[in-house]
Amino acid sequence: MTAKLHCLGASREVGRSAFLLQTDSRVLLDYGVKIFDEAGKPTYPADISNVKLDAAMISHAHLDHSGYVPNLYRFSKIPWYGTPPTYDIADILWKDTMKIQQHDLPWTNAHYKKAMKYWHPIMYKHKTSVRETTFEFTDAGHIIGAAMIHASYNNKKILYTGDFKLEHSRLHEGAKIPKEKVDALIIETTYADRDHPDRKTLEKKFVDEIKETLNEGGTVLCPAFAVGRSQELIRIIRAHDKDVPIYLDGMSKAVSSIYLKYKKYLYDYENFNRDLDSITFVDNLQDRKNATRGPNVIISTAGMMEGGPALNYIKYLNRESKVLFTGYCVEGTNGWRLQNKGQLRVDKNILEVELPVEYMDFSAHAGRTDLHKLVKSTNPEKVVCVHGDSAQAENFALELKEMGYDAVAPKFEDKLTLF
Binding mask 63-92 for Zn ion (x = CB under 5 A): -x----------------------------
| Half-sphere exposure at residue 196, Cβ-oriented, CA atoms within 13 angstroms | 27
Stated as kind and residue range, the H or E segment containing 99 is: helix 84-101
How far, rounded to the nearest angstrom, does the alpha carbon of residue 41 sit from its chain's CA centroid?
18
Q: Which is nearer to Zn ion, 254 or 346 (CB)?
A: 254
Q: Which is nearer to Zn ion, 11 or 133 (CB)?
A: 11
Binding to Zn ion (CB under 5 A) within 115-144 occurs at none
Contacts of 397 (CB under 8 A, 6+ apart): 383, 385, 407, 408, 409
Amino acid 363 reads S
Span of 54-62, 127-135, 179-187, 282-290 interacting with Zn ion by CB under 5 A: 54-62
Span of 33-41, 59-67, 200-208, 394-402 interacting with Zn ion by CB under 5 A: 59-67
Nearest-approach distance from CB 109 to Zn ion, in angstroms:
25
Span of 62-70, 265-273, 292-300, 322-330 interacting with Zn ion by CB under 5 A: 62-70
Nearest-approach distance from CB 229 to Zn ion, in angstroms:
10
Q: Which is nearer to Zn ion, 64 or 306 (CB)?
A: 64
Nearest-approach distance from CB 14 to Zn ion, in angstroms:
7
Q: Which is nearer to Zn ion, 62 or 322 (CB)?
A: 62
Q: Which is nearer to Zn ion, 35 or 237 (CB)?
A: 35
302 upstream amide cis, omega within 30 of 0: yes
Nearest-approach distance from CB 330 to Zn ion, in angstroms:
12
Q: Which is nearer to Zn ion, 69 or 210 (CB)?
A: 69
Binding mask 145-164 for Zn ion (x = CB under 5 A): ------------------x-
Nearest-approach distance from CB 265 to Zn ion, in angstroms:
15
Q: Which is nearer to Zn ion, 163 or 167 (CB)?
A: 163
Closest to 62 in 3D by CA, of 32, 106, 101, 19: 32
Give the sign of the dihedral formed by CA 129, CA 135, CA 138, CA 143.
negative
- How long is the chain? 419
Span of 33-41, 61-69, 165-173, 285-293 interacting with Zn ion by CB under 5 A: 61-69
Nearest-approach distance from CB 96 to Zn ion, in angstroms:
16
Nearest-approach distance from CB 227 to Zn ion, in angstroms:
8
Nearest-approach distance from CB 44 to Zn ion, in angstroms:
15
How far, rounded to the nearest angstrom, does the alpha carbon of residue 122 sit from its chain's CA centroid?
19
249 binds Zn ion (CB under 5 A): no
Sheet architecture: strand order including 147-153: 127-130, 133-139, 147-153, 156-160, 184-188, 382-386, 407-408
Q: Which is nearer to Zn ion, 114 or 170 (CB)?
A: 170
Q: Which is nearer to Zn ion, 81 or 153 (CB)?
A: 81
Q: Give yes or no for a contact between 25 and 59, defined as CB atoms under 8 angstroms apart.
A: no
What is the Cα–Cα distance from 294 to 201, expressed in whole angstroms? 26
What is the Cα–Cα distance from 140 to 244, expressed in whole angstroms? 31
Angle made by CA atoms 322, 326, 329, in degrees to the nearest 5: 100
Binding to Zn ion (CB under 5 A) within 162-191 occurs at 163
Out of 12, 26, 62, 150, the residue judged to bind Zn ion by CB under 5 A: 62
Contacts of 272 (CB under 8 A, 6+ apart): 171, 231, 234, 235, 259, 260, 266
Residues touching Zn ion, count (CB under 5 A): 3
Closest to 133 in 3D by CA, of 114, 157, 163, 99: 157
Q: Which is nearer to Zn ion, 145 or 309 (CB)?
A: 145
Nearest-approach distance from CB 62 to Zn ion, in angstroms:
4
DSSP readout, 240-292?
Answer: H-S-S-EEEETTHHHHHHHHHH-GGG-TTHHHHHHHHHTSEE--SHHHHHHHH
Burial label for 234, CB within 10 Å (0-12, 13-18, 19+), is buried
Nearest-approach distance from CB 7 to Zn ion, in angstroms:
15
| Half-sphere exposure at residue 6, Cβ-oriented, CA atoms within 13 angstroms | 16
The residues of the shown chain that bind Zn ion, judged by CB under 5 A, are 62, 64, 163
